[in-house]
Structure 1
C-alpha cells in the first residue's frame, strides 16, 4: 500500500510503498484526484470490472476497462497494482494479468499465466513476481515481453498478498486459514531468505512510511459436518506488525474476530481495520483505540489523503452491483456511489 510516485500514487488493501517519489505530506488538490475501484466480479460470469469515479464532480463510469478497450476483463480480479505509469490487473478464472496505462486504462499487453494468480509485484523494469494460489509458488514474469518464465520460487500454502521492500519481497501464505507464515524472498537471486511466523491465515499486507508491514491475518472460520458455522472451533484472526528492514515481528494485535482488510493513515498515525466493524488502531502504540468506529462491516477499505476521508466497499453479494461509501474521519458518511460486483480494492490516482 501507500505507494508514492512523481505523477501517480496508489493506496490499497493488499498494496505497498516504494521509496521513490514524495511522502504524501503535501498532497495534490482534490480536483486532480481520480478513484479507481477494482470489483472482483461473479466467478461464474468472470465479470471482474473497474469503476472510475471523479470525487470533484461525483460522476462515475462503470466497466471503465471495457469502455477503454472495447472488451471486458473476462476474469475475476484478485488484485491490482499500480507501478509507475502501468496498472497490473491480476485475474484468475482467466489466469492472466492485464497491463494497462494508468491514466487511460488502455491495454498495453497481457501476461498469460499457466497457474492461478493472486497477486503481482514489480521487481524492476523487466521482472515481476506473481503469487500462485494452488501450487504454493511465486512465478517470475517478463513485464517487457509479457511472458511467464520458467522460474518459480517455492513459498508457502496458498500465497496471496506480496510486498516488495528493496530487494526483499514479503509473501503472505494464507492456507485458507491453516497456514501462518510470511515468506521473505531475495529478489536479487530469486531465493527464499527467511520465513516468519504470524497469525493464522495471513492474506493482506500493507506497508507504511516507516517500512513497517501490517499483516492482516484472517484466522479460520470453522464449520461442522453439515457445513454450518462452528464458532467453538474458530481460529481467531489478528494483525501482525513486522519490521520490514530486519524481517522481524514488532508486535501483534489479537482482534478476536476475522479481520479482512486494513487502511493506513500515515499522517494521522491511525489504521482502519475491517472486522465485525471498522475499528481504529493507534499506529504508535499498536492498540485498538476505537473498536466500533463504523458499526458495520465491509468488503474493502482505503484511506484517501487528498481528502482526508475513508473509502469503503459494500459488496452486497455476488449477484448485484456493490456500493462505495465515503466517510469523514469523524465516522460520518458523506457520500456514496455505485460500483461493480464485490468491490475489492480502491486506488487513488493523482494526475
Structure 2
C-alpha cells in the first residue's frame, strides 16, 4: 500500500512539474471578442440593451444582459465602459450595472441617488459617475454632480461632487479626474480631495475625451463647427485647437476615431444624414460625404477590419439597424438590432 501511495505521489508531482513548464491557455470569454452594440432604447419603454456581433461569422446575439442575467436591463443605455474584469453599463435613467466582462454576469450595481447618469471613469479604486442631476422648472440642470462610489463592483454612493451644468464625458489623468461639462468648460477634480479644483473654459459644447498619439483631446461642437482641443496634461489647459467646418453635427456618446487619426462624425442635413470624415493629422475635412442615408444615430470604427459601423434609429418606429461600411465607403451589409443603436465597443 505504501509503495502504491509513493507511486501516486510521484505521478502527481510529474504532472505538476510538466504543467508548470507548459503555457497555460486561458479560455476567452464569449463577449471579449467581436463587437458590443449599445442600443439606447426608447424613452418611456426603457428597453436599452447590449447586442453582440461576431464579425467573423456575422452572427448576432440580441439582449445579452437579459439572456445572461434572466432579467431585462430596464433603462435607457447611455454608455458602456470596460476595465479588464468589469464592464459598466450606464443608463441616463439613473442606474449603473456592473457585469463581468467575459460573460456579462451581473456582479453589482450603483444603488441610490443617480438621476441622469451619463458616463463613468475608474480612478484610485473608485467609480466617478457624471450625472446631470434633476431638471428645474426651466428645464435647466443647476444641480449637476459627479457621484463617487468607493467599490468597483458598485454599492452606495459615498458622496457627490457638484460640477458645472450637464457633465458628460469623464477621464482620469495622473491624479486628476477631468469632466466635460456642456456649459462649455472642463471641471478638474483632484482625486483624494474630491472637489472641483478649477474649471477651464473651452470653445464649443464639450462632450468627450480621447487619446491620440499620446495626447489627450477634448471633442466639442456647435451648430457650425467641430473643435478638437489638445490639452496640456500638466495644467489641463487647451494648448492647441483644431476647428472643422461641419454643420449640425450630432453626438450620442459614440466613439469613432481610428488609430490613424481619422474621426467620423454625423451631420444632419436638410434632405439626408451624412458621415463626415475628418483628419487629425492634416487638421482638415478629408471627406464631407463619406456615406449618406437617413436616421443616423451612432458610429463606431473597428481598426482591425477598417470597418465603420453606423447605427440607424428607423425614425424610432420599432427596432433600428446597423450598417457596416468598408474603407472605400461602400456598404458591406446591414443587420437589424434594437432600438436606437448609438454606440459600439470593440473589446
Q: Normalised by the shorter chain, which TM-score bucket?
A: 0.7 to 0.9
Of 189, 195, 211 in structure 2, the residue corresponding to residue 191 of structure 1 is: 195
- In the TM superposition, residue 66 of structure 1 has moved relative to its aligned partner by 0.4
CA spacing shift, 1:56–1:181, aligned 2, 3 Å: same
* Secondary structure of 1:295 counterpart: strand
What does residue 20 of structure 2 align with? none
The normalised TM-score by structure 2 is 0.79
- In the TM superposition, residue 54 of structure 1 has moved relative to its aligned partner by 0.5
Do 2:246 and 2:267's aligned partners in 1 also have CA atoms closer than 8 Å?
A: no
The 5-angstrom pairing of residues 35-50 of structure 1 reads: 35-50=35-50
- In the TM superposition, residue 82 of structure 1 has moved relative to its aligned partner by 0.5
Of 253, 258, 278 in structure 1, the residue corresponding to residue 243 of structure 2 is: 253
What does residue 271 of structure 1 align with? 263
* Secondary structure of 2:65 counterpart: helix
- Once residues 336 and 172 of structure 2 are traced to their aligned partners in structure 1, the CA distance between those partners, rounded to angstroms, is 32
- Once residues 160 and 317 of structure 1 are traced to their aligned partners in structure 2, the CA distance between those partners, rounded to angstroms, is 25
- In the TM superposition, residue 256 of structure 1 has moved relative to its aligned partner by 4.2
- Once residues 282 and 118 of structure 2 are traced to their aligned partners in structure 1, the CA distance between those partners, rounded to angstroms, is 32
The 5-angstrom pairing of residues 283-322 of structure 1 reads: 283-296=280-293, 298-322=296-320
- Once residues 213 and 90 of structure 1 are traced to their aligned partners in structure 2, the CA distance between those partners, rounded to angstroms, is 22
Of 179, 182, 200 in structure 2, the residue corresponding to residue 171 of structure 1 is: 179
- Once residues 292 and 196 of structure 1 are traced to their aligned partners in structure 2, the CA distance between those partners, rounded to angstroms, is 34
* Secondary structure of 2:314 counterpart: coil
Deviates more, 1:114-123 or 1:159-168: 159-168
Alpha-carbon RMSD: 2.2
Which structure has the larger Rg? 2
Do 1:163 and 1:207's aligned partners in 2 also have CA atoms closer than 8 Å?
A: no
What does residue 328 of structure 2 align with? 330
What does residue 79 of structure 1 align with? 79
- In the TM superposition, residue 254 of structure 1 has moved relative to its aligned partner by 4.1
- Once residues 219 and 277 of structure 2 are traced to their aligned partners in structure 1, the CA distance between those partners, rounded to angstroms, is 15
| Greater relative contact order structure (CA < 8 Å, 6+ sep) | 1
What does residue 138 of structure 1 align with? 146
What does residue 6 of structure 1 align with? none
Do 2:278 and 2:285's aligned partners in 1 also have CA atoms closer than 8 Å?
A: yes
For structure 1, the 5+ residue unaligned runs are 1-31, 220-234
- In the TM superposition, residue 74 of structure 1 has moved relative to its aligned partner by 0.6
- In the TM superposition, residue 253 of structure 1 has moved relative to its aligned partner by 1.4
Please give the per-residue CA displacement for 1:128-164, whole angstroms capped at 9, x wherever unaligned.
1011112221111123462233422222111111122
As a proportion of its length, which structure holds more helix? 2
Moved over 6 A (4+): none
Of 203, 206, 209 in structure 2, the residue corresponding to residue 202 of structure 1 is: 206
- Once residues 37 and 213 of structure 2 are traced to their aligned partners in structure 1, the CA distance between those partners, rounded to angstroms, is 23
Do 2:200 and 2:237's aligned partners in 1 also have CA atoms closer than 8 Å?
A: yes
- Once residues 202 and 127 of structure 2 are traced to their aligned partners in structure 1, the CA distance between those partners, rounded to angstroms, is 25
- In the TM superposition, residue 244 of structure 1 has moved relative to its aligned partner by 5.1
- Answering whether residue 231 of structure 2 is matched by residue 239 of structure 1, we say no
- Once residues 103 and 281 of structure 1 are traced to their aligned partners in structure 2, the CA distance between those partners, rounded to angstroms, is 34
Deviates more, 1:34-43 or 1:206-215: 206-215
- Once residues 305 and 256 of structure 1 are traced to their aligned partners in structure 2, the CA distance between those partners, rounded to angstroms, is 24
- Once residues 184 and 258 of structure 1 are traced to their aligned partners in structure 2, the CA distance between those partners, rounded to angstroms, is 29
Report the number of matched residues: 297
What does residue 24 of structure 1 align with? none
